[in-house]
């Protein structure tokens, strides 16, 4: 949540920052702003709304500067407004700061500052921290760097902050705890950002700043220190990402591009790991830790949002194939209760961004208690990837659309391989079944392609139901979590209320909602439950509900009960969820388009939720 960008070097800072903010808009788009420093003149511009609104207000202005910072906000403290937008200026007007995170003890610090005569122009915790820093600087007659260090020792909460000051023409001071920060190293220039997307155009050499580290960044110099003022040698990583991966590539929206990328992203995820011909899966994260995994009495899965749905699918698959009990936890609940964790327990952490605050803190707590963390993460080098003891990347590439699509199918592919790998090692699956499932998994990219060819059918269905006020999504077994994911996607993108339910459980409540105005989406692909789900369709039909069903090609029964059908290629029931979710992603996309919503940046949401 909130995207931050900074630049110091020989280029004009504003265009670099503006482009960077546009790339980071998935992190929040309530307001944005920039602070630019030139000839001791510190100018701040900010605007409620999207980065494009800020850009428009700055047309024709003199924005000359070779150092600057910029921010795109997801509001926490204070409504979205020009006033609450970042950067904030200190009371003396000499320091500008941007912040991603939440300062939890801001009220106490604010009171202290108010008692000293400070007044505030915004409702933000950020302005409090900034004036606190300014106050320390004044009182101690110290440098900005020292003042930041002293202030951060008193602060609780999460932050990534960037500061520039009038009297220091080329230096950005940055610090992080809990919110991400990457520094790109160029020739005579440095780039700072919440993730690498604003940086890759200029350099592939980056440093991921760790918690409790402070960076002093000048065009020719990067100094990293801990909060104890000791120097740390920056660890330079080479980015494995191309610019094309973060551009729309001819698609109208990132979401559509990412849905259509899935045959390739799933293939990339399987590549080098799955070898159906040889009958094997190679995953070093599992192979090197197989003893620990085999000994585990249970597996806990911790995640949020769409990643949590991937965890639910994994629960069904791991229990079926590996015979290990699995519990799936919302990270936000897990972190605050007192979960029973024994040394050696396995926790699978699932996260696209690798930065979700709730997931990260839950893992830190579990790790302290001796759990072994296996990360299933998309963003390479992210905090969750780094805190994990082992793991497997999903290799879906940067996901920019706020609603997760290709990361989800990547997570499912990884989790299926993990389950198969454990099962064959534990001996809980026969060689024959194992090989059969490898062949099935290998065929997924091609089948995903076949589904996408018929995307237009879903556009027609979307047009037909776009004005509904509610939707119900029903599935059983492996497809129950897919019903939840279908409902979540529709809510996120179209703002239509939607609920996902296990199809049989529908009788215990949601059936009361059914009438001729309620579209009910059945995920009714061929599996052991098929006859049962057909009975559930009958129950809806008897009450005049409108039935949209996602079925397996060749199914003769479901179409007779459905108002609209979409067929997907036949697949083993364990593998089917990776395919059955794709039509639901397309359905929400097209409903969103038909309703005119901003599908890449749905209201109130953010992609990377770095606050709790």
User: Which residue number places its CB atom closest to ligand G6P?
Assistant: 305
Return the number of the residue (152 or 313) whose C-beta is nearest ligand G6P: 313
Closest by alpha carbon to 347, among 305, 433, 289? 289
C-alpha distances in Å from residue 608, one per residue of 37, 84, 194, 403: 29, 20, 10, 11
Return the number of the residue (358 or 499) whose C-beta is nearest ligand G6P: 358
Among 2, 160, 269, 304, the active-site one is: 2
Provide the minimum distance between the beta carbon of 403 and ligand G6P in the complex, in angstroms, as a whole number: 6
Closest by alpha carbon to 151, among 125, 169, 170, 171? 125
How far apart (Å, rounded) are the C-alpha atoms in residues 315 and 233? Answer: 41
Crossing angle of helices 455-465 and 444-453, in 10° steps, is 50
Return the number of the residue (131 or 353) whose C-beta is nearest ligand G6P: 353
**∠ CA 223-226-227, rounded to 5°:** 125
Q: Is 142 a catalytic residue?
A: no
Provide the minimum distance between the beta carbon of 359 and ligand G6P in the complex, in angstroms, as a whole number: 5
Among 22, 110, 137, 607, the active-site one is: 607
H, E, C per residue of 345-369: CEEEEEECCCCCHHHHHHHHHHHHC
Provide the minimum distance between the beta carbon of 500 and ligand G6P in the complex, in angstroms, as a whole number: 14
182 contacts 2 by C-beta, under 8 angstroms: no
Return the number of the residue (493 or 565) whose C-beta is nearest ligand G6P: 493
**∠ CA 70-76-82, rounded to 5°:** 50
DSSP string, 124-172: -HHHHHHHHHHHHHHHHT--HHHHHHHHHHH--EEEEEEEEETT-TT-E
Crossing angle of helices 576-595 and 444-453, in 10° steps, is 30
C-alpha distances in Å from residue 233, one per residue of 139, 145, 195, 221, 397: 31, 18, 20, 12, 29
**Residues 6+ positions from 336 with CB-CB distance below 8 Å:** none
**∠ CA 45-50-53, rounded to 5°:** 55
How many other β-carbons are positioned within 10 Å of the β-carbon of residue 116?
10
Q: Which residues bind ligand G6P (CB under 6 A)?
A: 304-307, 351-353, 356, 359, 402-404, 605, 607-609
How far apart (Å, rounded) are the C-alpha atoms in residues 422 and 494? Answer: 39
533 contacts 517 by C-beta, under 8 angstroms: no
Provide the minimum distance between the beta carbon of 79 and ligand G6P in the complex, in angstroms, as a whole number: 20
Provide the minimum distance between the beta carbon of 248 and ligand G6P in the complex, in angstroms, as a whole number: 19
Return the number of the residue (31 or 353) whose C-beta is nearest ligand G6P: 353
Using DSSP bridges, classify how beta strands 390-393 and 3-8 pair: parallel, antiparallel or unpaired. Answer: unpaired
Return the number of the residue (203 or 306) whose C-beta is nearest ligand G6P: 306
Provide the minimum distance between the beta carbon of 135 and ligand G6P in the complex, in angstroms, as a whole number: 36
89 contacts 44 by C-beta, under 8 angstroms: yes
500 contacts 487 by C-beta, under 8 angstroms: yes
Return the number of the residue (266 or 461) whose C-beta is nearest ligand G6P: 266
Q: Is 2 a catalytic residue?
A: yes
Return the number of the residue (403 or 550) whose C-beta is nearest ligand G6P: 403
Provide the minimum distance between the beta carbon of 352 and ligand G6P in the complex, in angstroms, as a whole number: 4
Provide the minimum distance between the beta carbon of 307 and ligand G6P in the complex, in angstroms, as a whole number: 4
Return the number of the residue (131 or 382) whose C-beta is nearest ligand G6P: 382
Provide the minimum distance between the beta carbon of 582 and ligand G6P in the complex, in angstroms, as a whole number: 16
Q: What amino acid positions are annotated as catalytic residues?
A: 2, 607
């Amino acid at each position: 949540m909130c995207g931050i960008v900074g630049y110091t070097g020989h280029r004009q800072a504003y265009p670099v920052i503006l482009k960077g903010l546009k790339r980071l808009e998935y992190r929040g788009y309530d307001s944005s702003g920039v602070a630019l420093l030139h000839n001791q003149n510190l100018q701040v511009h900010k605007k409620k709304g999207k980065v494009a609104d800020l850009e428009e207000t700055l047309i024709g202005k003199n924005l000359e500067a070779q150092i600057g910072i910029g921010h795109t906000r997801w509001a926490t403290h204070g409504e979205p407004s020009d006033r609450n937008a970042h950067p904030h200026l200190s009371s003396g007007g000499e320091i500008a700061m941007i912040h991603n995170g939440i300062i939890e003890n801001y009220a106490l610090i604010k009171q202290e500052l108010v008692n000293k005569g400070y007044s505030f122009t915004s409702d933000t915790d950020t302005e409090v921290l900034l004036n606190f820093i300014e106050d320390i600087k004044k009182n101690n007659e110290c440098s900005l760097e020292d003042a930041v260090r002293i202030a951060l020792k008193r602060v609780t909460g999460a932050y990534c902050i960037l500061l520039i000051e009038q009297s220091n023409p080329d230096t950005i001071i940055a610090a992080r705890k809990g919110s991400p920060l990457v520094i790109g190293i160029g020739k005579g220039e440095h780039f700072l950002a919440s993730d690498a997307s604003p940086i890759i155009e200029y350099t592939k050499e980056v440093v991921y700043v760790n918690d409790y580290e402070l960076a002093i960044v000048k065009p020719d110099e990067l100094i990293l220190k801990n909060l104890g003022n000791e120097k740390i040698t920056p660890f330079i990583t080479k980015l494995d990402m191309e610019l094309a991966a973060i551009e729309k590539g001819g698609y109208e929206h990132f979401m559509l591009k990412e849905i259509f990328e899935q045959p390739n992203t799933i293939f990339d995820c399987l590549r080098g790991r799955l070898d159906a011909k040889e009958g094997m899966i190679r995953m070093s994260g599992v192979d090197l830790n197989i003893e620990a995994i085999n000994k585990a009495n249970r597996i806990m899965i911790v995640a949020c949002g769409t990643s949590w749905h991937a965890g639910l699918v994994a629960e069904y698959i791991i229990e079926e194939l590996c015979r290990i009990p699995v519990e799936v936890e919302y990270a936000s609940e897990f972190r605050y209760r007192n979960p029973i964790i024994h040394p050696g327990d396995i926790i699978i952490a699932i996260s696209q961004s690798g930065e979700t605050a709730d997931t990260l803190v839950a893992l830190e707590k579990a790790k302290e208690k001796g759990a072994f963390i296996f990360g299933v993460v998309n963003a390479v080098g992210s905090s969750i990837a780094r805190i994990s003891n082992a793991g497997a990347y999903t290799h879906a590439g940067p996901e920019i659309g706020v609603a997760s699509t290709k990361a989800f199918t990547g997570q499912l592919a990884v989790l299926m391989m993990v389950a198969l790998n454990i099962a064959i090692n534990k001996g809980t699956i026969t060689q024959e079944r194992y090989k059969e499932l490898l062949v099935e998994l290998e065929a997924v990219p091609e089948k995903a392609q076949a589904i996408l060819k018929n995307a237009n059918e879903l556009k027609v269905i979307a047009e037909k139901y776009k004005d509904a006020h509610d939707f119900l999504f029903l599935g059983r077994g492996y497809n129950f979590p897919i019903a939840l994911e279908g409902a979540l996607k529709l809510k996120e993108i179209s703002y239509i209320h939607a609920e996902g339910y296990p199809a049989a459980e529908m009788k215990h409540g949601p059936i009361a909602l059914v009438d001729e105005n309620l579209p009910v989406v059945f995920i009714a692909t061929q599996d052991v439950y098929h006859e049962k789900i057909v009975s559930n369709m009958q129950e809806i039909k008897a009450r005049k509900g409108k039935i949209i069903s996602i079925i397996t090609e060749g199914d003769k029964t479901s179409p007779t009960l459905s108002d609209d059908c979409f067929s997907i290629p036949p697949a083993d029931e364990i593998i089917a969820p990776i395919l059955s979710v794709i039509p639901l992603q397309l359905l929400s996309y097209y409903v969103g388009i038909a309703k005119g919503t901003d599908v890449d940046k749905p209201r109130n949401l953010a992609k990377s939720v770095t606050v709790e």
